[in-house]
Structure 1
Amino acid sequence: MSHSETIQSTYKVFGLDVYYELYGYQNIDKKDSKVFVCIHGFLSSCFSFRRLIPFIAKDHIVLVIDLPPFGKSGKHLNFTYSYDNFANVVISLVDHLKLDKVNLVGHSMGGQICLYVAKKKPEFVNKVILLCSSGYLGKANPHLILSSYFPFFHLYVKRTITKQGIMNSLNSVVHNQNLIDEEMINGYKEPFLQDEIFRALTKMIRDREGDLSPTDLQNISVPTLLIWGEKDKVVPLEIGKRLHQDLKQSILVTYPEAGHLIPEEIPEHIYDRIANFV
């Protein structure tokens, strides 16, 4: 894709710079062109969609967002790092770019943000695509929330996240280990080279309100496609089956030889499913 067809920019939402990438804008006037908004998972960024974007951007418009405090977005401590507020960020940015009737594509935690958007503004969404979406997680336990107020708690958060190491983390999310190369390692490691993110993640422990309840999910009427890797060790297929039951207008598709990081593992399969769905 030539540089002229890709926009990389930031937009100020609630006083914080939100980084985004826009692909395929040349397709805006095409008759069958649609808008896709991709939302990454926890500890991830736009980078996680790098293999899926080229498939979608051939014929459609793709907006990829770094949710704060991840990737290249701001990490201020006066921002509320709640799922409801992440949904507000997505809505605000899409409004600013004058895109409408968007198809939301969310991986892992990003799937939960898509569901928050669909609950808040159903008229704004055409369809939802959930890739190994998180679900049914409550708020952090009160002891952890209390601990997060200690002055150096962000160093504990940093140690906990970095102790596992990027290689172990990737091994746990990618089923086919042959896909793990230097580009992937560097791409997932890069956001954690500065301390600001750990301070912001400490605040997120307090701000995160938890996933939507079964009742909330049952009230969502936007058609939803669930795509799951059967070897997912992070968000097991059982969660996908539960979401499929609670989301009345949903279809569940599974892949036996895929893990959690399916936008990296099976991008062409995901695109085929999405193209048929929307």
Structure 2
Amino acid sequence: MGAALRTTVEDLLGRLRGLISSQLARRERLSEDALAGYLSAWATPAAMGAFFQLVHQVGAADLLGRTSLELGSSRVPTLLLWGELDEITPVEEGRRLARSLPASSLEVIPEAGHLLPEEAPEALARAVRSFLRRTPRKY
């Protein structure tokens, strides 16, 4: 990898580290190993390129809008889990998505941000278990 590209990737990873840390409502829940795992998924130019291409093609603001339009006719039970303090995709986006999905239910996890598995694993597991118990087996 050329020096200029390496610098760009390192700069973007540094920004991503800051973004992940700033979006955690409970930073103490994310270990350095877990943070390194999230960052390693983005550590290649191919991964970053794919993400930026998606954002460019779809537009970040329209990503959820298009998804909800495409899924709006679905009757499959869907659980939407959202962190109350998520600033990347705020709760209002979850509410909007839930309104557009007839068979969905939205559960907002208190005091959690964007990374629910790291910040509120117990609450996430309870919500999924509850959803599975009340969802008909035909799905």
Name the TM-score, length of structure 2 as normaliser: 0.71
Higher helix share: 2
Measured in 2, the distance between the counterparts of 1:183 and 1:162 equals 15
Runs of 5+ in structure 2 lacking a partner?
Answer: 133-139
Q: CA deviation at 1:202?
A: 2.0
Q: 1:241 aligns with which of 74, 82, 95?
A: 95
The one-letter code matched in structure 2 to 1:220 is S
The one-letter code matched in structure 2 to 1:175 is A
Measured in 2, the distance between the counterparts of 1:213 and 1:153 equals 36
Percent identical: 28
Count of aligned residue pairs for this structure pair? 123
- Kindly report the root-mean-square deviation, in angstroms, between the aligned alpha carbons of the 2 structures: 2.8
Does the 8 Å contact 1:154/1:202 carry over to 2?
no
Q: SS at the partner of 2:69?
A: helix
Would you identify which runs of 4 or more consecutive aligned residues in structure 1 move more than 6 Å? none
Q: CA deviation at 1:185?
A: 3.0
Once the two structures are superposed, what CA deviation does each residue of 1:217-240 show, in whole Å capped at 9, x if it has no partner? 211211111111110011111110
Bigger relative contact order, structure 1 or 2 (CA pairs below 8 A, ≥6 apart): 2
Does the 8 Å contact 2:30/2:119 carry over to 1?
no
Q: CA deviation at 1:203?
A: 4.7
Does the 8 Å contact 1:157/1:198 carry over to 2?
no
Query: 2:28 maps to which residue?
Result: 178
The one-letter code matched in structure 1 to 2:45 is F
Q: 2:83 aligns with which of 229, 236, 239?
A: 229
Higher strand share: 1
Q: 2:37 aligns with which of 152, 170, 187?
A: 187
The one-letter code matched in structure 2 to 1:274 is V
Query: 2:129 maps to which residue?
Result: 275
Measured in 2, the distance between the counterparts of 1:182 and 1:163 equals 14
Q: CA deviation at 1:200?
A: 4.6
Measured in 2, the distance between the counterparts of 1:270 and 1:246 equals 22
Q: 1:164 aligns with which of 8, 12, 15?
A: 15
Measured in 1, the distance between the counterparts of 2:70 and 2:16 equals 36
Q: CA deviation at 1:245?
A: 0.4
Does the 8 Å contact 1:153/1:202 carry over to 2?
no
Once the two structures are superposed, what CA deviation does each residue of 1:26-84 show, in whole Å capped at 9, x if it has no partner? xxxxxxxxxxxxxxxxxxxxxxxxxxxxxxxxxxxxxxxxxxxxxxxxxxxxxxxxxxx
Query: 2:105 maps to which residue?
Result: 251
Name the TM-score, length of structure 1 as normaliser: 0.38
Q: SS at the partner of 1:240?
A: helix
Query: 1:199 maps to which residue?
Result: 46
Q: SS at the partner of 1:258?
A: coil
Q: CA deviation at 1:214?
A: 3.9
Once the two structures are superposed, what CA deviation does each residue of 1:153-182 show, in whole Å capped at 9, x if it has no partner? 96686255224152x233223111222333
Q: 2:115 aligns with which of 244, 261, 268?
A: 261
Does the 8 Å contact 2:109/2:123 carry over to 1?
no
1:15-94 paired onto structure 2 within 5 Å: none
Measured in 2, the distance between the counterparts of 1:252 and 1:238 equals 11
Measured in 2, the distance between the counterparts of 1:269 and 1:243 equals 21
Measured in 1, the distance between the counterparts of 2:80 and 2:96 equals 11
Q: SS at the partner of 1:253?
A: strand
Inter-CA distance 179–215: structure 2 relative to 1 (3 Å threshold):
closer
Measured in 1, the distance between the counterparts of 2:19 and 2:5 equals 20
